[in-house]
C-alpha cells in the first residue's frame, strides 16, 4: 500500500511538472526568430533589445537565434505545426505574404518608421503593391583584389571591362602554381548572388517585365563566358561549379592565394581583423556603360496571430529606432536600410565604397513568390554549366522551364 501511494505521488509530481513546463510556452510571450549573422553580435544585440522591450512594458520575449543552415527548416516546421513566430527575420518574404500569413507594414509599424526606409528597399519588400517585408539590413557586393598579387603581376589598376578582367586573371594565375586568378563560387551555397552580378554586368536580367527570362541570349553568353574562365582560360580555382563561397572562395582569398573575388563588407571586416592580405575594393568589371552590383536585402516580417498586433508593433518600432538599428548593423558589418541610418553611417570612411554603391545596387526578384524556388534551383544547378563538358544553354533552358512552372503553380 505504502509503495503504491509513493508511486502515485511520483506520478502526480511528474505530471504536474510536465504541465508547468507546458504552461510556460503558451503564455502571451512574443516569439521572435532571428537568423544568426555572427556568433559575436547577433544574440547580444537582440537579447538586449528584448530586455529593453520588456522593461518598457512589453510582454516577455521568446527569442530564438537560428543559424542560416537550419532556419528554413525550423520556420517551415513552426508553420506546419500552426505555431508561427510573431516576428521573423529571413531573406525571403513573398511566399509568406502570398499564403496570407503576414500583416502589411501599415498595421505593424508607425508612419515615421515606414517613411524612413530607403526607397529601393521599401520597393524590395512589396508583394502585390503592399509592403510586407520590412528591410532589416542590407549588404552590397564589391570587387575585391589582392594588391600584393597585382603588384607582383605588374597590374596597375583593377580591370574595368571583361576583356581586361580576363587579361588580369591570366597574369595573376601565371604567377605561381598555387595562385588563382579569380575565385568563382558557383556551388550551392550562394550561387544565385555570384550569378546575378555577372548576369547584370553582361546585360541580362532575371526577368523581362513580368516574365522570367533566365535563358535570354545575353544570359547564355554570360554563362558561357564564366565556363570559359574555368575551362578555356583556366583562371579560376579547381571546380568552380563545386566551390562554395564562405569556406571556398573567401577562404582562398583570405589566405592570399587569389587575385580577385566578389566580396562584401563582412569579408572586409574579417580581412582587416586578420591583417594578412592587402586588398583593394573596386567596382565590378562590366560590359555595360555603368558597373552594376548586387544589393542584398534581408527582411523582418510580422505574422498575423490573434491579439498580437500591438505587441508586434511596439517591438518593431523599438528595433527601427535609429540608435538601435544602426548599432546592430554597424556591429555586424552590414549596410543601412533607412535614411537616418545611411546618414549616421556616412561618418565611417571605410564604408564609403559600399554606401556609394548602395543606391545603384540591384536586388534579386524576392518580391516574386516563385523566386523562393528559382533561387534554390539556381543554387543547385548553375554550377553544372561551368564543369568540363557542361552546357550553359541547356542549364539555363532547364532553369527557365522550372521558373515558368513555379510561377504558374501555387
What does the binding site for another protein look like in residue numbers (CB under 8 A)? 4, 7, 11, 14, 72-73, 75-80, 95-96, 98-99, 101, 178, 186-189, 191, 237-239, 241-244, 247-248, 251-252, 255, 257, 369, 372-374, 376-377, 379-384, 402, 406, 410
Tell me the residue length of the chain.
410
- Minimum Å gap between C-beta 406 and another protein is 7
Residue 159 or residue 185: which is nearer to another protein going by CB? 185
- Minimum Å gap between C-beta 126 and another protein is 18
133 SS3 class: coil
- Minimum Å gap between C-beta 366 and another protein is 13
- Minimum Å gap between C-beta 35 and another protein is 15
- Minimum Å gap between C-beta 107 and another protein is 19
For residue 404, give the C-alpha cell: 515558368
Residue 50 or residue 302: which is nearer to another protein going by CB? 302
Cβ-Cβ contacts under 8 Å for 134 (sequence gap 6 or more)? 105, 109, 117, 125, 299, 300, 301, 302, 316, 320
DSSP conformational letter for 387: S
Distance CA 368, CA 98 (A): 9
Residue 179 or residue 361: which is nearer to another protein going by CB? 179
159 SS3 class: coil
Cβ-Cβ contacts under 8 Å for 133 (sequence gap 6 or more)? 93, 94, 97, 124, 125, 126, 127, 297, 299, 300, 301, 366
Residue 355 or residue 376: which is nearer to another protein going by CB? 376
Residue 48 or residue 128: which is nearer to another protein going by CB? 128
110 burial type by CB count under 10 A (0-12 exposed, 13-18 middle, 19+ buried): middle
**What is the CA angle 93-185-164, rounded to 5?**
115
Residue 34 or residue 345: which is nearer to another protein going by CB? 34
- Minimum Å gap between C-beta 187 and another protein is 4
Residue 219 or residue 244: which is nearer to another protein going by CB? 244
Residue 254 or residue 344: which is nearer to another protein going by CB? 254
Residue 14 or residue 350: which is nearer to another protein going by CB? 14
- Minimum Å gap between C-beta 90 and another protein is 10
Residue 142 or residue 271: which is nearer to another protein going by CB? 271
Distance CA 14, CA 400 (A): 57
- Minimum Å gap between C-beta 401 and another protein is 11
Residue 136 or residue 230: which is nearer to another protein going by CB? 230
Alpha helices in 265-391 (DSSP H): 265-274, 309-319, 322-332, 339-345, 352-357, 371-381
Dihedral angle over CA of 79, 84, 89, 91, nearest 10: 20
- Minimum Å gap between C-beta 130 and another protein is 17
Nearest to 117 by CA among 337, 295, 346: 337
Residue 110: left (phi > 0), alpha (psi -120 to 50), or beta?
beta
Q: Up-side HSE of residue 277: CA atoms within 13 Å toward CB?
A: 26
Which residue's C-alpha cell is 527548416? 73
- Minimum Å gap between C-beta 2 and another protein is 13
Nearest to 371 by CA among 343, 407, 396: 407
- Minimum Å gap between C-beta 242 and another protein is 4
Distance CA 91, CA 299 (A): 6
DSSP conformational letter for 117: B
Q: Are strands 211-212 and 207-208 parallel, antiparallel or unpaired?
A: antiparallel
Amino acid at each position: 500500500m505504502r509503495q503504491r501511494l509513493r508511486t502515485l505521488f511520483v506520478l502526480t509530481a511528474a505530471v504536474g511538472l510536465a504541465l508547468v513546463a507546458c504552461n510556460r510556452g503558451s503564455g502571451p510571450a512574443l516569439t521572435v526568430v532571428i537568423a544568426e549573422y555572427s556568433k559575436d553580435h547577433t544574440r547580444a544585440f537582440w537579447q538586449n533589445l528584448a530586455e529593453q522591450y520588456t522593461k518598457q512594458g512589453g510582454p516577455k520575449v521568446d527569442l530564438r537565434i537560428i543559424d542560416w543552415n537550419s532556419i528554413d527548416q525550423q520556420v517551415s516546421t513552426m508553420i506546419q505545426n500552426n505555431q508561427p513566430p510573431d516576428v521573423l527575420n529571413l531573406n525571403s518574404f513573398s511566399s509568406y505574404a502570398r499564403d496570407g500569413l503576414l500583416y502589411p507594414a501599415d498595421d505593424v509599424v508607425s508612419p515615421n518608421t515606414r517613411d524612413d526606409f530607403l526607397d529601393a528597399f521599401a520597393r524590395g519588400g512589396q508583394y502585390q503593391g503592399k509592403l510586407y517585408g520590412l528591410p532589416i539590413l542590407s549588404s552590397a557586393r564589391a570587387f575585391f583584389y589582392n594588391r600584393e598579387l597585382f603588384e607582383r603581376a605588374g597590374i596597375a589598376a583593377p580591370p574595368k571591362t571583361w576583356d581586361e578582367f580576363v587579361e588580369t586573371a591570366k597574369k595573376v594565375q601565371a604567377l605561381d602554381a598555387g595562385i588563382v586568378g579569380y575565385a568563382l563560387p558557383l556551388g550551392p551555397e550562394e550561387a544565385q548572388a555570384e550569378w546575378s552580378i555577372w548576369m547584370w554586368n553582361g546585360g541580362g536580367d532575371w526577368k523581362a517585365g513580368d516574365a522570367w527570362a533566365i535563358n535570354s541570349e545575353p544570359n547564355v553568353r554570360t554563362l558561357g563566358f564564366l565556363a570559359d574562365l574555368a575551362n578555356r582560360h583556366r583562371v579560376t580555382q579547381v571546380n568552380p561549379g563545386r566551390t562554395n563561397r564562405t569556406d571556398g572562395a573567401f577562404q582562398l582569398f583570405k589566405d592570399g592565394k587569389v587575385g580577385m573575388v566578389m566580396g562584401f563588407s563582412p569579408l572586409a571586416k574579417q580581412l582587416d581583423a586578420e591583417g594578412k592580405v592587402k586588398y583593394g575594393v573596386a567596382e565590378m568589371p562590366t560590359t555595360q556603360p555603368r558597373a552594376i552590383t548586387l544589393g542584398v536585402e534581408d527582411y523582418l516580417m510580422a505574422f498575423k496571430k490573434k491579439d498580437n498586433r500591438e505587441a508586434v508593433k511596439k517591438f518593431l518600432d523599438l528595433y527601427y529606432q535609429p540608435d538601435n538599428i544602426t548599432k546592430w548593423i554597424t556591429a555586424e558589418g552590414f549596410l543601412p536600410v533607412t535614411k537616418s541610418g545611411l546618414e549616421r553611417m556616412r561618418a565611417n570612411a571605410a564604408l564609403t565604397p559600399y554606401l556609394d554603391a548602395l543606391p545603384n545596387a540591384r536586388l534579386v526578384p524576392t518580391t516574386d513568390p516563385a523566386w523562393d524556388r528559382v533561387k534554390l534551383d539556381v543554387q543547385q544547378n548553375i554550377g553544372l554549366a561551368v564543369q568540363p563538358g557542361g552546357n550553359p544553354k541547356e542549364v539555363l533552358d532547364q532553369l527557365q522551364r522550372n521558373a515558368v512552372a513555379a510561377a504558374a503553380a501555387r
